[in-house]
Structure 1
Amino acid sequence: MTFKNRLIGFLFCNILLGTGIGFAQKDGTTIIEGRVVEQGGGQPIPFATVLVADNETKTPITGGTTDDDGKFNLETEASDFYIEISFMGFKTKTFGQPVINSGVVNLGTVVLSEDAHQLAEVVVEGEVSTTEFKLDKRVFNVGKDISSTGMSALEVLNNVPSVNVNIEGQISLRGSQGVRVLINGKPSILASGEGNALGTITADMIERVEVITNPSAKYEAEGTSGIINIVIKKENREGLNGSISLNGGSPNNYSVGVSLNRRTEKFNLFTQLGGGFRELPNDIENGNVDLVNENSILSSGTEYRNEKFYNFTLGTDYYITPNDVITLSGNFALELEEQPSKTSFASIDKNEGITSEWDRNETTEATNPKFQYEFQYKKEFDGDEDHTLLFSALGNFFGKDQSSQFVDTTISGEDMDGDQKTRTDFKEALFTFKLDYTKTFFEDWSVEGGAQYVLNDVSNDYEVENLIDGEYVVDPDYTNVFDYNQNVFGLYGTGAYEGEKWGLKAGLRLEQTELNTLLKDTNEDNHQSYLDLFPSVHSSYKLNPKVSFQAGYSRRIFRPGLWDLNPFFNIRNNYSIRQGNPDLQPEYTDSFEITSIYLLGKASVNLGFYYRYTTDVIERVSTFENNVNTVTPENVGTNNATGIEFNFKYSPAKWFSLNGDFNLGQYKRRGTFETNVFDFDGTQWSSKLLAKFKLPGDLDIEATGNYESGYETVQSEIGDNLFMDLGVRKKLLKGKAVISLSVRDVFASRSYESVTEQPDFYVYNNRERGRFVSVGLSYGFGKGDAMEFTGRRR
């Protein structure tokens, strides 16, 4: 069998057995089991392909991939078959008609040796992003999707099933924005909601994205709609490996990235370097209408966020013994921002006449340093990879030193001249300490236990000055120092049974939260302390080799973050102001879901149903005075959300495949704020369709269509979105180099539009980014390929 056919078999098997669930032997079936390791060191090989094929026709019967320990367990009802075990970069091993003892074929330990020829070429089928289903999460393995060229992590997330990211950078999961984003399983400054934090992580740095819609008690309880965990690549092949990537595009977007890895028997040294420049223009249009006095303020213009960014990562794994590993790593990122923006304003009276026109010009500069450092120790007891102790200590720091000047210049009519200055001195420190213990009994039973302590310490010194009689005078209404301190201590325990037919996992997590905020200038403080229990239950069952089911329940929390609590925001547009609310209370959600997985020949289908009940829902509420719209988050009632989710993958031919994602949710909102009753029902849905074409000459094309319906909030209606991304890729030098072209938002149709219509005021907002075009070139050297990652065990 040729290497290309083996990779086609690899895809087929991943579709067939992507769930990672073990199942029982039935009458007339044969269990096939074993463990795959690499030659020279005996390290396990996860994700190796195990193919069972018919001896006569050579067509695949069933198959799967090895787990993190290199183990596999399959079943077949066939009697005349052979087994083939392969992994990219290694020589394939084939076992002819094996001996069956009591319905079991035990291949024992299978040793694979490296194949120099395979290391030099990889076909496109092996690069496609795939989704893997596990008992308590879904893993989206990020492949070489063409449209990801030049992307940041936010844009990569928008290609992940169930996830949407609007043009303001707000992440939602199944239509809900209560999402917790982690980096390598831990809280990180790089995943914070401040500015463009995730922009320093590029697509080339990401190994996989884990979408956990119903997390078990092992995970922190933060995030009412679930957790998104971004796992950063770290090469592990022996010797020196590396790759370099260059990207350029329009609007101006240039970057270079270098990845290097040196692996020996005792050490694994890894580093990544990146830098670049990007422009992020936004065309804006706003209208504030006072329905009582019948006048309005209209504004439009282009806001820019121009950034120079640098990223440097350095780390090492040191193997004290084969069972004890220490990891030390550090990351430094720096953003240098400029925001040259111009907005044109017009004041309209009740007779629709223009009383004044003026321009507001902004000059903003900011320096944003980010540091991250981590120590991790992992111990495997007696060489048992299912019996481990893991301790990690992670420190993060983020700073922002920003100054802005706003100059209002009258064009006609009433004098609106005025100057304002703002100054921001922001500092955030985040420390995370984790201890996890795992033990497996009798192969089918396992327990987990651990603790986590997260300390978040923030200070935001914000000042606004107005030019009065030739001198800048501090505006006390918008000036203060806001201190935010939140500490969360958690303990958890889980127990699981994963048999051959069904699995069950249950756990309980306890979290103690201490929150303190202080406005120093006015001495306004707020203290909250609460202790919560968060149970979780997950189960799986296989009806037959082609149909299986999963079900889960978890209780979650959304704690208001810094920018929800901080009462001071940028006054870029001083007629449209967002403020935080220091008195916000956390949201709590009970989440239930049932998922079914079907394997239908050349297609795999996932169909799921979910229900979420949320209390103390946080919504943004507008207040209106003197044509100024001020938006503040408030706790507004409850939400009942019921939804259906449908994902599929269909590969009718080796040159063509389709991936689809559909999510439909219905919600019932009940609540009041002050004297207003906010009771309403609504529907929200979204869909994605990705088509991939493999053409002669190693040329590949992909097209992605996205639709996001409009939806209601307590006061507003958000508009819908329909947009498309395109990508083209050409492989060169036997796969060692790749050149790609990406066009995002081909028809420049993507926008963020909201309308707030209340008895005494009307507010309209629209924001558009436009079309982005990127060209990328990457080259791999050593044993690596162009920005490839093997998936090998760390």
Structure 2
Amino acid sequence: MCPFSVSGSLRVMNSFLRIVVVLLLVAAPARAQDDTQGTVRGTVVAEDGGSIPGASVALHTDDADSTLVTGAATADDGSFVIENVPADRYYLRVSYIGYASAIRPDIAVSDEQTTVNVGEVTIRQRSEQLDNVEVTAERQYMQVEPEMTTYSPQNQPALVGGSARSVLEDIPSLRVDIAGNISFRGNEGVAIHINGSPTPLSGEALTSFLESLSAQEVNRVEVISNPSVARNPEGTGGIVNIVLADDAEIGWGGGVSASADTRGRLNGSGNAHYGSGPWKAYFNYGARYDQDEQSGFRYRENLYLDPTTYLEQDRWEQESGLSHTGRLSLDYNPSESNTFSLSSVLSYRGDETEEMREYSELDEDQELTERYNRRTNAEETDFSMEYEFEYSHVWTPREHEFDLEMEYEEDHESEDETYVHYALPLDASNDVADTLTSRQTAIETEDEREVSLEADYQRALGESFDMEAGYDGEFEWQDSRYDSESVTGGPVDTLGAELNRDNSFLYAEQTHSLYSTLEGELGDFGAKLGLRAESAITRFDQETQGTSYDNNYFSFFPSVHLSYQIGKSNTFKASYSKRVRRPSTWQLNPLGSYDDPTFRRVGNPSLTPEYTHSFELGYTRPGSKYTISLSPYYRYTVDEISWSERLTEDGVTILTFENFSTEDSYGAELVGSLTLDEWLKSNASFNAYKQVTDGSNLSSSLSSDAIGFRTRASFNAEVGWGVTVQASQHYRSPMDIPGGRRDARTRTNTAIQKKLFSNRAKLNVHVSDVFGTRGSVVERRSERYFRRYSREPSSRDVRVTFRYTFGGGGGDGGRRRGRGRWR
């Protein structure tokens, strides 16, 4: 039974809000103030140093209420003077049409200091939409920052109504393949974080979770190519942090969204937030119905046999499923220095899959010798829950802070599968009925639990240096069971243990880390040095085979980040970090899948972690109408975990994982955004790279030396009357891979958006994969076989989405996380 329902969610929300109202009635009394009056003055300038006349300058109390006290408008030279300011602590907010708001904190008016000069306040230009009388400030899609690049999907028409997976697919240098594997700059070792914490989900479980989240729930995505040691070292390809929009400002607010597409997929969600005094609360519920069809082809030459034989396979698959996701967060600030946060995420997904594979075996003259097919029916459920508690104490913002996070997660998967095997007549036009020859049933379950604890302390050392130190501990357990029964040759309605392929294993892992960083600035030069020491303890019990594998290891992870600023518009960066990619349980389990009699995927319990040394240079130049970022990079990987194939004597292709000796990967990424006019803006990226893989420790055929590139470009045009048009193009070049080659891949998307009801509502029409070119073809060759296979997803569709927001406030960019890592 589904753990969520609309009526149940409303009852929970109603009870919760009653509690919040009662708590608000006993709020603390207002702060006392004396009769001292002061003055606050300063100047507002643009990035190029030019003055900004007529900008709005507002002074707010620096407390939980954030009350607007007074304000002023800037003069022709950009200067402002705010008089008769009561003694208190404040922060200053500057806003101006066409520019992002700027905040200047820590303004204190007292008996000792009645005049405060905040100096120059710089605001950054960005595109705005002026519709009638209302002005809506929209965050730029791409923002280049010193340690990361941030992408904000909220105002991208092509993403409205999509899922979190579609958000990742739209990001330059990120690749999400048909199977849901995520790679960054060609490296599949990228780590996925949710709100700053590593997610324990991987493979199909992670794909299902991302597809259950709507794009509207994603506030921003932070891509960190070379993280410092203060972040988890897992992920040789860097970190992709998905920040969910779950913060609430003062007052009520919320929104609803609904979408449908030509493939029969439906999506609906609603959210509400409330904030007052020291309390903030957010609730979201979303339901999504997915339908997906795909086809594929596999051709194989068996060179192991003499004479050579051939195999052709056609595959069709149809999948449908309903998912529910609910999120609730509550923040309490009893004082300016203390924050308590609680949050939970519950997710449920149910899928049904029908699949048919048809096989044709041919002799050396490519004459048909046998035809058969295998039909699969599967039902899968996935239920996950996450609970997080965070406490932060701030003595001085960004200078002296302590943060404690505790998190507990569970994920339960279950799948019931039925396979039936039919012999087919050699002549497809023959009316002879198919002959049922075997049947197999299987029940697969997987239960995961994870507990994590993080403690972080930051302290300024004088005016030029900062230090950060902390502990990071993670504990993970997984219990996986595969129970199978089948019958061959006898009555197919009587299952037995004639072919028993049970598979059961337990996995436990714990890591303990201590880290410290030192950061400082000397004039225009900045540096951040760090070191992380980590102990990992792992145990893998393969109960079916009665074997156990222990792998305990200790590692050091250094990091260096350097920066140099030339004027206001040129920033140079250089960085180094060491990363690790640990093998997952499905890569370790030696008993694999049996759903295809000619093709099996099995794990390798002897896999060891791969380590990557990552070097990167960076140059960023922001302008009033453009931003350019160039990042040359080099990665040296030891014991790389990669795919490996072999063909058995009985004609079964085995796909497994091996530790390749090394891989050298180097290239350069160019990312830019350009505002061509007030109504037209664009962004583009180009990433060219070379990968040299040394697999000679396994086979000379598994070494490769390849060059590839990928590019993306998009245009946004605000044509008037509240209408925005967007078009985007993605392209990935063909490239050699160890033991084979993959072909090129391209995709074109378009969208149009209309704003309604004074910008409270948006109507979107999105066309995905306009020319139906998203499929892929891969070839592999060895001394024993040649194989070509393709996958063709039904990715072309037209999606219509309607969104409506109500109330005030709204998310400000994700719930505050103490450690300063994701601000």
TM-score range (shorter-chain normalised) is 0.7 to 0.9
Match of residue 560, structure 1, among 583, 594, 603 = 583
* 2:537 is equivalent to residue 517 of structure 1: no
Letter in 1 for 2:741: E
Letter in 2 for 1:727: A
CA 1:124–1:565: 2 relative to 1, 3 Å = farther
Give the match for residue 377 of structure 1: 391
> Aligned partners of 1:583 and 1:761: how far apart in 2?
25
Partner of 1:617, secondary structure, is strand
* 2:745 is equivalent to residue 725 of structure 1: no
* 2:249 is equivalent to residue 237 of structure 1: yes
Unmatched runs of 5 consecutive residues or more in structure 2: 1-43, 67-72, 80-89, 105-115, 123-128, 427-433, 817-823
Partner deviation per Cα, 1:37-91 (whole Å, 9 max, x = no partner):
763554699xxxxxx9994899xxxxxxxxxx9789xxxxxxxxxx966799999
Give the match for residue 345 of structure 2: 331
CA 1:433–1:772: 2 relative to 1, 3 Å = farther
Partner deviation per Cα, 1:237-260 (whole Å, 9 max, x = no partner):
111111111111131211111111
Where do 1:458-469 residues align within 5 Å? Answer: 458-468=478-488, 469=490
* 2:798 is equivalent to residue 773 of structure 1: yes
> Aligned partners of 2:813 and 2:555: how far apart in 1?
37
> Aligned partners of 1:427 and 1:678: how far apart in 2?
35
TM-fit CA distance, 1:514:
0.8
TM-fit CA distance, 1:719:
1.5
Give the match for residue 171 of structure 1: 182
CA 1:616–1:55: 2 relative to 1, 3 Å = same
* 2:469 is equivalent to residue 445 of structure 1: no
TM-fit CA distance, 1:294:
1.8
Give the match for residue 214 of structure 1: 226
CA 1:676–1:88: 2 relative to 1, 3 Å = closer
Where do 1:111-510 residues align within 5 Å? Answer: 126-134=138-146, 136-189=147-200, 194=205, 196-291=208-303, 292=305, 293-381=307-395, 383-413=396-426, 417-468=437-488, 469-470=490-491, 471-474=494-497, 478-498=501-521, 501-510=524-533
Letter in 2 for 1:388: E
Where do 1:687-726 residues align within 5 Å? Answer: 687-726=711-750
Give the match for residue 591 of structure 1: 614
Give the match for residue 96 of structure 1: none
> Aligned partners of 2:78 and 2:533: how far apart in 1?
56
> Aligned partners of 2:544 and 2:811: how far apart in 1?
52
CA 1:252–1:327: 2 relative to 1, 3 Å = same
> Aligned partners of 2:251 and 2:95: how far apart in 1?
28
Partner of 1:157, secondary structure, is helix
Unmatched runs of 5 consecutive residues or more in structure 1: 1-9, 18-27, 46-51, 59-68, 73-82, 94-103, 111-116
Q: Is the 8 A contact 1:356 1:416 kept in 2?
A: no
TM-fit CA distance, 1:345:
1.9
Match of residue 605, structure 1, among 610, 613, 628 = 628
Of the structure 1 ranges 758-767 and 476-485, higher mean CA displacement relative to structure 2 is found in 476-485
Partner deviation per Cα, 1:701-726 (whole Å, 9 max, x = no partner):
11110001122222121221011111
Partner of 1:155, secondary structure, is helix
Q: Is the 8 A contact 1:38 1:44 kept in 2?
A: no
Give the match for residue 60 of structure 2: 39
TM-fit CA distance, 1:465:
2.2
CA 1:472–1:569: 2 relative to 1, 3 Å = same
> Aligned partners of 2:497 and 2:191: how far apart in 1?
37
> Aligned partners of 2:134 and 2:176: how far apart in 1?
32
Partner deviation per Cα, 1:355-385 (whole Å, 9 max, x = no partner):
222232211001111111111111112x544
TM-fit CA distance, 1:441:
3.4
CA 1:384–1:675: 2 relative to 1, 3 Å = closer
CA 1:109–1:43: 2 relative to 1, 3 Å = farther
Letter in 2 for 1:482: F
> Aligned partners of 1:124 and 1:750: how far apart in 2?
35
- Using structure 2 for the length normalisation, give the TM-score: 0.82
Q: Is the 8 A contact 2:407 2:452 kept in 1?
A: yes
> Aligned partners of 1:536 and 1:673: how far apart in 2?
30
Give the match for residue 555 of structure 2: 532
CA 1:151–1:219: 2 relative to 1, 3 Å = same
Letter in 2 for 1:361: R
TM-fit CA distance, 1:578:
1.2
Give the match for residue 97 of structure 1: none
Partner deviation per Cα, 1:242-281 (whole Å, 9 max, x = no partner):
1111111131211111111111212111111011210122
TM-fit CA distance, 1:200:
2.0
Partner of 2:197, secondary structure, is coil
Q: Is the 8 A contact 1:577 1:630 kept in 2?
A: yes
Partner of 2:341, secondary structure, is strand
Partner of 1:167, secondary structure, is coil
Partner of 2:758, secondary structure, is helix
Aligned length: 726
TM-fit CA distance, 1:165:
1.2
Of the structure 1 ranges 725-734 and 570-579, higher mean CA displacement relative to structure 2 is found in 570-579
TM-fit CA distance, 1:348:
1.7
TM-fit CA distance, 1:600:
5.0
Give the match for residue 658 of structure 2: 634
> Aligned partners of 1:41 and 1:648: how far apart in 2?
37
Partner of 1:347, secondary structure, is strand
Partner deviation per Cα, 1:583-602 (whole Å, 9 max, x = no partner):
10111111101001123553
Letter in 2 for 1:439: R
> Aligned partners of 1:780 and 1:348: how far apart in 2?
61
> Aligned partners of 2:592 and 2:195: how far apart in 1?
30
TM-fit CA distance, 1:632:
0.2
Where do 1:745-756 residues align within 5 Å? Answer: 745-756=769-780
Give the match for residue 783 of structure 1: 808
TM-fit CA distance, 1:559:
0.6
Of the structure 1 ranges 163-172 and 186-195, higher mean CA displacement relative to structure 2 is found in 186-195
CA 1:387–1:42: 2 relative to 1, 3 Å = same
TM-fit CA distance, 1:92:
12
Partner of 1:156, secondary structure, is helix
Letter in 1 for 2:813: G
Letter in 2 for 1:662: F
Q: Is the 8 A contact 1:121 1:735 kept in 2?
A: no
CA 1:245–1:501: 2 relative to 1, 3 Å = same
Q: Is the 8 A contact 1:178 1:558 kept in 2?
A: yes
> Aligned partners of 2:580 and 2:100: how far apart in 1?
44
> Aligned partners of 1:640 and 1:44: how far apart in 2?
54
Of the structure 1 ranges 741-750 and 669-678, higher mean CA displacement relative to structure 2 is found in 669-678
Letter in 1 for 2:318: Y
Q: Is the 8 A contact 2:255 2:805 kept in 1?
A: yes
CA RMSD of aligned residues (A): 3.4
TM-fit CA distance, 1:181:
0.5
CA 1:125–1:88: 2 relative to 1, 3 Å = closer
CA 1:36–1:217: 2 relative to 1, 3 Å = farther
Q: Is the 8 A contact 2:246 2:815 kept in 1?
A: no
TM-fit CA distance, 1:304:
2.2
Aligned residues with identical type, % of pairs: 23
Partner of 1:455, secondary structure, is strand
TM-fit CA distance, 1:674:
4.1
TM-fit CA distance, 1:29:
12
Letter in 2 for 1:159: D
Partner of 2:165, secondary structure, is helix
Give the match for residue 31 of structure 2: none
CA 1:280–1:71: 2 relative to 1, 3 Å = farther
Give the match for residue 10 of structure 2: none
